[in-house]
Amino acid sequence: MNAKPELTLLLASPRGFCAGVDRAIQIVELALTKFGPPVYVRHEIVHNRYVVESLEAKGAVFVEELSEVPEGAKVIFSAHGVPKSVPAEAQSRELFYLDATCPLVSKVHVEAERHHNAGLQVLLIGHAGHPEVIGTMGQLPEGAVTLIETVADAEAIAPADPSKLAYITQTTLSVDDTSAIVATLRRRFPDIRGPHKEDICYATTNRQDAVKEIAPQSDALLVIGAPNSSNSMRLVEVAERVGCPYAALVQRAEDIDWDALRPVLKDGGTIGLTAGASAPEVLVEEVIEAFRTHYDVKVETALIRDEAVQFKLPRVLAE
């Protein structure tokens, strides 16, 4: 019987759930315990099918719009944040609702309003169509926020008054991409105002830094996460940029492309493994076990930073 090839599995740390995701999931679970099912959730509470399906099994019902929520039901808004029109509609229909928006996203909402009230044109660095971007733009009147997706957008924008500009950012962007866009805006508009503290959240930054640490040491790197998860997709891009020969996103172990990996790993080697901020650790363990069926696996952890952030739950659930 042939021995399995030896493989070092280099785990990024930190990885997986951030405080905002953990809080949002707890809100759904506690609401189900306190009020009983069904509890409705507008949009995926976080971008991960495993998490969504686990909550569905407990009685959560996921919908895209409030119009799908029946009268008298209880509804939760996702961690990505929602436009102001959503809680306004819930109030007009007298729906009981809980807001699971990540506090760091709420911080960006507050910044947007503050800049707008100061008479500044607000530029939002982010990805069109992402729920967080839709929610942030929806804090202000239509047309009050201009979306900037690329350096080219930053070069092309022609504001009415260059001296009255402010920028905010989506919390889950590439740190390096965003820095380049901000540098372009600051060069063109020296008076532009930015956030007091960076809008890209600590978890996004930490997970990207961890990938920058392990990717150069890896023959291949896998990111566990969903294709509609911005922070997960950015981790794949970061690995590719720092020169990792093979980087891919997998939702869970069954998605691993073994045929693509074998030529890269040959008779073993090192594979980096991380997880986006909405991916649970159980999926990391599942992937490790899948590698054990093909390789003699040695697991090492590369800790680049400790995380101890926690966010308070809504008072109605904490009581």
132 labelled catalytic: yes
**Which of left, alpha, beta for 75 (phi over 0: left; psi -120 to 50: alpha)?**
beta
Structure-token pair, residue 211: 């990938």
CA dist., res. 290 & res. 254, Å (int): 8
Q: What angle do CA 28, 99, 147 make, to 5 degrees?
A: 120
Q: Degrees (nearest 5) of the Cα angle 43, 46, 50?
A: 105
The single residue listed with the structure tokens 């960076």 is 198
Cα–Cα distance, 122 to 160 (Å, whole number): 12
Report how many helices (DSSP H) and strands (DSSP E) the chain contains, helices first.
12, 12
Joined tokens for residue 89: 């509609």
The catalytic residue among 44, 111, 132, 213 is 132
Indicate which residues carry an active-site annotation: 132
